[in-house]
Amino acid sequence: MSPVLVLGIDGVRHDALCAASTPELDRLATAGFRVPVPVAADSPTISGPCWTTIATGLPAPVHGVRDNATPGNPVRPDFLSRIRAARPGTTTFAAAGWAPLVRPVGCGPIFAGHGFRPLAPDERYDVAAANRADEAIVAATVDVLSAGTEAGTPAAAFVHLGTPDLVAHRDGVAIGYRQAIETADRRAGRILAAVRARAAATGEDWTVLVATDHGHRDGGGHGGDSVAERAAWLIAAGPGVPRRPPSMPTQADIYPLVLSAAGVRPADAGGEADG
């Protein structure tokens, strides 16, 4: 059983990730693996459906989220809720600038339990606001990893950085997008340093997964069927990660990876039979 951090970086196309200088994510990939994980053909290349698949391990036709505006079917709790239910007394941590990930708005909450969201509900979500949100999210995550919360230290966390997606929507897949990915890598590095410090202080052996939800067209934008829009990926490293990645991985495979690392069988928490 290992504490688990899932870091979600929104809208980072796989080839753009490979082209950017990302030493922090590279180090993680070297310790574990990095694989392309194309968005499944039955899923829209939209944040709501893709993050819901990552959170629940269910394909889009089952969870029913087709866009960012409408909640899906209450089929199965997200992996953080699952871990809390399986291990009473355990706390988890979620932080995101994009509201539906942690708030009951639009297709949310994708992660139930009212996670940290640094933006006011009516704040216009532009690149500058996204950068401020990501900075606040990194600071809050480092705080929680260093000191815990009133409820204790988290057994699992989902932390979302949103700026690269906003930059691609505004400017397309260009130099600014690459720079936003590199900034996200440095932000990931601050969180990973806090994980290492925590591990050194407590003896905990953390599992870390980093994933994106979808890619982008060259001109910016997603939601369609192109290879570029489906070009997602996964990086994973730690004691809960198999030495070799799953063959032909899908975004639905992230959920069992997280639960397995956390020592939770999928059926333990919800009482339902998982196929």
Cis preceding linkage at 109, omega within 30: yes
Supply the minimum distance, in Å, between the C-beta of residue 62 and Zn ion. 20
CA angle 192, 87, 31 (to 5 degrees): 30
3-class secondary-structure state, position 94: strand
Q: Which is nearer to Zn ion, 47 or 81 (CB)?
A: 47
- Side-chain half-sphere of 246: how many Cα atoms within 13 Å? 15
Exactly one of 2, 22, 45, 47 binds Zn ion (CB under 5 A); that residue is 47
# residues near Zn ion by CB under 5 A: 5
Site map (CB under 5 A) of Zn ion, residues 187-226, x = contact? --------------------------x-------------
Judged by CB under 5 A, does residue 253 bind Zn ion?
Answer: no
| Residues 99 and 44 sit within 8 Å (Cβ to Cβ) | no
What are the Cα distances from residue 163, in Å, to 56, 129, 167? 24, 9, 6
Rounded Cα distance between 265 and 268, Å, is: 5
Question: What 8-state DSSP symbol labels residue 79?
Answer: H
Q: How far is the CB of 88 from Zn ion (least distance, A)?
A: 33
Q: Is residue 92 within the footprint of Zn ion (CB under 5 A)? A: no
Stretch that binds Zn ion, among 70-78, 136-144, 147-155, 161-169 (CB under 5 A): 161-169
Closer residue to Zn ion (CB): 45 or 141:
45
Kindly list the residues in this chain that would bind Zn ion in the complex (CB under 5 A): 10-11, 47, 165, 213
